[in-house]
Amino acid sequence: MSTSTANNHFTFSLPSLSYIDTSLEDQNLAPVARPAQPRGFTEWLARKVVALRTWNMERQSLNELSLMSDRELMDVGLNRGDFVRMFDDSANADLRERGLQA
């Protein structure tokens, strides 16, 4: 069963938002405060945690891709030679150089 509701039945209303910049739409919205950037040991530890999570996600992805057959890899547009380029930025240095020169 569906019933129609009028806007005045709601106790709240959402602001009109833009995908580009909320300040262009509603001047009453306050800007979102960004948290202070961590310094010292906290910053170092945060970088290490992010690096560990990234490494683990890449390792899991590589393991899943390695389990795929050559046919399945071909279906998604990859081959086993692409694995190095996907997870090692230094392997893409030649592509970046060609992109800058072109």
pLDDT in tens, 61-87: 999 999 999 999 999 999 998 888 888
In a domain, 29, yes or no: no
In a domain, 26, yes or no: no
In a domain, 32, yes or no: no
Residue 81: what pLDDT?
87
- Helix, strand or coil, per DSSP, at residue 20: coil
Query: Are 48 and 77 in the same domain?
Result: no
Contact assessment for residue 41 and residue 31, using Cβ atoms and an 8 Å cutoff: no
Range of the domain at 56: 38-67
Contact assessment for residue 16 and residue 24, using Cβ atoms and an 8 Å cutoff: no
pLDDT in tens, 32-43: 777 776 678 988
Query: Are 62 and 77 in the same domain?
Result: no
Record the pTM.
0.50
pLDDT in tens, 14-31: 566 555 555 555 566 666
Question: What integer best gives the mean pLDDT of the chain?
Answer: 77
Query: Are 77 and 96 in the same domain?
Result: yes
Tell me the chain's radius of gyration from C-alpha atoms. Answer: 24
Query: Are 94 and 79 in the same domain?
Result: yes
Domain count, the chain: 2
